[in-house]
Amino acid sequence: MKKLEGKVAYVTGSGRGIGRAVALKLADDGAKIVVNDLDQEPADEVVAEIKAGGGDAIAVAGSVTDDDFAERFINTGIETFGGVDIIVNNAGYTWDAMIHKMGDEQFDAMIDVHLKAPWKILKAASTFIRNAAAEEAAEEREVFRKVVNISSVAGTGGNVGQSNYSSAKSGVLGLTKSLAKEWGRLKVNVNCVAFGFIDTRLTTATDEKMTTVVDGNEVALGIPKKVHQGFSGMIPLGRPGTVEEAAGGVYLFCTPESNYVSGQTLIVGGGITL
């Protein structure tokens, strides 16, 4: 029997990178996955990969910052799979600048995607969770649900050029601790994973200028090779983490072994402590 058999997991930003690795890991352990990406194609590819491995999944494409996204995301999963058991708020990106060069739009964009969007998704799920918890309590059944919010060592310790991103990721810590207390009576474990230096398309070592467009904003991809080497040298384990290793940290908070763990932040950073 797989540990997550019969569970329904919602993973934002799961068409690529860490989110994809999380979706595949949870699916491999039996969960049905509601996959999300900005674009339909990568979301569909992950769904196909999960189904090819014997699992089940559905894609909900779109930006987590869209006004109607949270309700559409949660309702699609409920209508398709009938439940809400795990929510992983993973979607996000960085848009860096020193504070004297940063405009309001740049600051607000990070707050919207990293903090407000997770809040809206959890709010959208709250009615189902409250009703299900009430029914389970009446039947004297103890059923645990899991929320894993994604932060960063920039949120726990700050980072140069990331006053917007660091502020948003620090806010995720407060959201996590508050909902852990608010939803404890509903048997929901609310925890946070703060990533260190993980190899993704946002952090790949390159001296070429690469960009992508997110919500109409052009943002940089990759970091200079010398900077990449410098960051790697600061990590006690001596290298960046892989997306699979990042997913492993999230997985810990989704399993029954974490049923008495809530309101906590786990740094997955190869030994970095901030």
Whether residue 206 contacts residue 227, with contact meaning beta carbons closer than 8 Å, is answered with no
From 10, 165, 251, 260, active-site residue: 165
Residue 24: which of 41, 48, 46, 54 has the closest Cα? 46
Please report the beta strands in the chain, taking only residues with DSSP state E, as ranges in sequence order.
8-11, 32-35, 57-59, 86-89, 145-152, 188-195, 210-214, 217-221, 265-268
- 165 flagged as catalytic: yes
What burial class does residue 69 get, using C-beta atoms within 10 Å of its C-beta: 0-12 exposed, 13-18 middle, 19+ buried? buried
Amino acid at 80: T
Q: What is the DSSP letter of 16?
A: S
Q: How many CA atoms lie within 13 A of 30 on its CB side?
A: 10
Question: Can you tell me the distance from the alpha carbon of 215 to that of 220, in angstroms, rounded to the nearest whole number?
Answer: 14
Return d(Cα 216, Cα 251) in angstroms, integer: 32
- Region of 77 please: left (phi>0), alpha (psi -120 to 50) or beta: alpha
**CA-CA distances (angstroms) from residue 220 to 10, 96, 100, 244, 249?**
27, 8, 19, 23, 26
Residues forming the active site? 165
